[in-house]
Amino acid sequence: MKEIKTLDLLILDELGFIPFHKNGAELLFSVIAECYELRSVIVTSNLEFGDWNTVFGDNRLTTASIDRLVHHAYILAFTGPSNRLKQALTSRDTELGPTPK
């Protein structure tokens, strides 16, 4: 927590990729609460807020975390095809040639 207090920006990338155990979820909430209104936090996730309970495993902890993150937040939601998938398919086609139709 001492190191986190020195940061101007904290980036939590791929939140929800792997669910947390109870202790991990509580620790993450502590980090979010420590940053609340004191430093900038960027969170990336492929989950909608309604699915975050699967990450934190506790409704109260999930609600409190989202509440702190979205207060004063700019939320950017991206829809459409995955750029990673498009790039992977382009790379595959370059290496192997296009797939027959």
pLDDT in tens, 61-92: 999 999 999 999 999 998 888 788 888 888 76
Looking at residue 98, its amino acid is P
As given in the structure block, the two tokens for residue 89 are 């398919």
pTM above threshold 0.95: no
Strands (E), 1-100: 9-12, 40-43
Rounded-to-integer distance, Cα 68 and Cα 60, Å: 12
pLDDT band at 3 (very low <50, low <70, confident <90, very high): very high
Q: Is 69 exposed, middle or buried (0-12, 13-18, 19+ CB in 10 A)?
A: buried
Q: Angle between the 22-35 and 59-70 helix axes, to the nearest 10 degrees?
A: 20
Cα Rg for the chain, rounded, in angstroms?
18
Average pLDDT value for residue range 30-38: 96
